[in-house]
Amino acid sequence: MKMVLAMAAVVGVSLVATPVMAASLSSKERARVSRAAPRDRDDVRYCLLQGKKGRDKGTVIGAAGGAGVGLVAGGSVGETLLGAGAGALAGRLIGKSEGTDSTCDRVLRRNP
């Protein structure tokens, strides 16, 4: 029972920390914004931030889902953590593509 509470606490903390993690751009992303056409700079910045938010949100949701499946299936701690890791990876990949729309995809393709 203590392990379940610990896992729930970790998931809860990661859900609270998600907006903070996605608040800034890396140096490569800032360089990409500065290289963009002047009319597209705000859009490129916005789209990069949206992509990061989607990726981070997908990671947290995938990890929680994987851990939940592991707990419901009655797996051991190792199996539950493995399920959480696999869920996080899948959620990250799905969230990265789902964080932006077709307009952002066009803006980011136009400004590599």
Instruction: Give tens-digit pLDDT for 10-69.
Output: 555 555 444 445 468 889 999 999 999 999 999 999 998 988 888 888 889 889 888 888
Q: Does the pLDDT value for residue 88 go beyond 80?
A: yes
- What is the pLDDT at residue 14? 56
Rounded-to-integer distance, Cα 84 and Cα 56, Å: 14
Burial class for 72, CB neighbours closer than 10 Å (0-12, 13-18, 19+): exposed
Q: What pTM does this model have?
A: 0.64
Measured in whole angstroms, the distance separating CA 50 from the mean position of its chain's CA atoms is 10
- What is the pLDDT at residue 34? 93
Rounded-to-integer distance, Cα 11 and Cα 70, Å: 14
- What is the pLDDT at residue 100? 73
Rounded-to-integer distance, Cα 9 and Cα 13, Å: 6
